[in-house]
Amino acid sequence: MGHHFFITAAKGLEPLLRDELDGFGIPDLLEGKGGVSFAGSLEQGYRVCLWSRIANRVLLKLDSFPCTSPESLYDGIRKTDWLRHLGPDSSFAVSFSGTAPEIRNSHYAALKVKDAIVDQFREHCGRRPNVATEEPDLRINVHLSKKSAVLYLDLSGDSLHKRGYRTRGGQAPLKENLAAAILILAGWSEICQRGGGFLDPMCGSGTLLIEAAMIAGEIAPGLKRRYFGFLGWKGHDAEIWQSLYEDAARRSRDSRSKIPRIAGYDIDPRALRIASENIRNAGLQDLIRIERRSIDEISAAQNSQNPGLIAVNPPYGERIATDQGLERLYSSFGEVLKSRFTGWRVAMLIEDRELGFRIGIRSRRPYTLFNGAIECKLLTLNVDPERFFVPKIQA
């Protein structure tokens, strides 16, 4: 106990993050705008860094103080004993967000924070740490709101959606934690436990395929990351981290056999080359099969003994130039589902509800999710003939 954490998540994913942290056994979670906070141990903070599929950042609160001007910001930052957190030969970075009446420019405010830290080192050691924007030893995060500044250490260091397997994204890739959110909301854990397979018929760079395998195989999303914000921090407890890490490595070895059949298709050979590279980076090349196929060439028989899950993020207007073929693509996807995938669950992230309608299968109440800045709907449906309808196409 004794530490206060704020775990950030993309807009709309806060409730899912809360459920995930609850599943880690963390009590008294407080959900707010942009994330979830709790009081807990360093071990719990590290666990979130290693195991959260949804979070963006893990922030450890150091202090909060009234802040209305650049001077009060400087004084407030100097109150912290920085020598407890950082060596004079280390590197650090400052991220600043928010405004106050006399603090409008976040770049200038971040410089004030940096000055306060550097001046303290100069006074006490005659030397000072350097600023590094890429993979600093310590990332300091200051958030200003309602004339109060909250000072955090960013234990994640870099956003946790970067799992370490993606070298190239391809065209309009999903963020890894959004892909995981789609799978969790679609009920993938239950489907794979009862032996259902997984299919993404427009897999692009393979994000949904890899995240599906990682969930099924209990692979910690942070297992392949080599950088975290706590590794260069003086307060880092290497023993706790090592034990969590070894446990996660063991679990991923032991649960590999739980990964069911996972297949991805795409019409674009370049996308498949990128997917293949990412799958290899994730060490999943013997478990995920990818092939060049158009949407109308897929069938359940090629994929799973039991009905499984299809999760897909089809092309949509804003990110991939719209063509008249988009409407036809959704219609033929609907036809393929109706004729060849009875009993399967489908989750589709779409921007345009009208296009979703072309599928011709009634879905449940959609979830609102944000793909970057784009507001999307996640449609989930069961391929059940009782829910089929013939879409009326407006002329």
**Cα separation, 368 vs 359, whole angstroms:** 19
Stretch that binds ligand SAM, among 143-151, 199-207, 219-227, 302-310 (CB under 6 A): 199-207
Give the DSSP H or E segment for 329. helix 325-340
SS3 per residue for 172-191: CCCCHHHHHHHHHHCCHHHH
Contact status: 334 vs ligand SAM (CB under 6 A): no
Pull the structure tokens for residue 282: 């994730």
Contact status: 202 vs ligand SAM (CB under 6 A): yes
**Cα separation, 111 vs 117, whole angstroms:** 10
Helices 42-51 and 238-254 sit at what angle, rounded to 10 degrees?
40
Q: Which of 36, 271, 310, 350 binds ligand SAM (CB under 6 A)?
A: 271
Please enumerate, as own/partner, the contacts of 281-287 that have beta carbons within 8 Å and a separation of 24 or more. Answer: 281/164, 281/165, 281/166, 281/167, 281/224, 282/163, 282/165, 282/210, 282/213, 282/214, 282/224, 283/224, 284/210, 284/213, 284/259, 287/213, 287/217, 287/256, 287/259, 287/262
Contact status: 264 vs ligand SAM (CB under 6 A): no
Stretch that binds ligand SAM, among 84-92, 200-208, 213-221, 222-230 (CB under 6 A): 200-208
Q: Which is nearer to ligand SAM, 135 or 335 (CB)?
A: 335
Strand ranges (DSSP E) for the chain?
Answer: 3-8, 30-32, 35-40, 57-66, 91-98, 130-131, 138-145, 148-154, 196-200, 262-266, 288-292, 306-312, 345-350, 367-371, 374-382
> Is the separation of the CB atoms in 158 and 229 below 8 Å?
yes
Q: Which is nearer to ligand SAM, 266 or 277 (CB)?
A: 266
Nearest-CA neighbor of 113 among 136, 100, 94? 94
Stretch that binds ligand SAM, among 101-109, 215-223, 263-271, 356-364 (CB under 6 A): 263-271
Q: Which of 145, 193, 255, 294 binds ligand SAM (CB under 6 A)?
A: 294
Contact status: 268 vs ligand SAM (CB under 6 A): yes
Contact status: 120 vs ligand SAM (CB under 6 A): no
Q: Which is nearer to ligand SAM, 321 or 395 (CB)?
A: 321
Q: How far is the CB of 13 from ligand SAM (least distance, A)?
A: 16
Q: Which is nearer to ligand SAM, 110 or 271 (CB)?
A: 271
Q: How far is the CB of 354 from ligand SAM (least distance, A)?
A: 17
Q: How far is the CB of 290 from ligand SAM (least distance, A)?
A: 11
Strand ranges (DSSP E) for 106-162?
Answer: 130-131, 138-145, 148-154
Annotate each residue in 153-182 with x if it binds ligand SAM (CB under 6 A) or - if it does not, as one string: -----------------xxxxx--------
Q: Which of 42, 86, 149, 208 binds ligand SAM (CB under 6 A)?
A: 208
Q: Which is nearer to ligand SAM, 29 or 379 (CB)?
A: 379
> Is the separation of the CB atoms in 48 and 33 below 8 Å?
no
Contact status: 295 vs ligand SAM (CB under 6 A): yes
Pull the structure tokens for residue 241: 């981290």
Q: Which is nearer to ligand SAM, 7 or 295 (CB)?
A: 295
Contact status: 356 vs ligand SAM (CB under 6 A): no
Positions 296 through 315 that interact with ligand SAM (CB under 6 A): 313-315
Contact status: 329 vs ligand SAM (CB under 6 A): yes
Residues that bind ligand SAM (CB under 6 A): 170-174, 201-202, 204-205, 207-208, 266-268, 271, 294-295, 313-315, 329
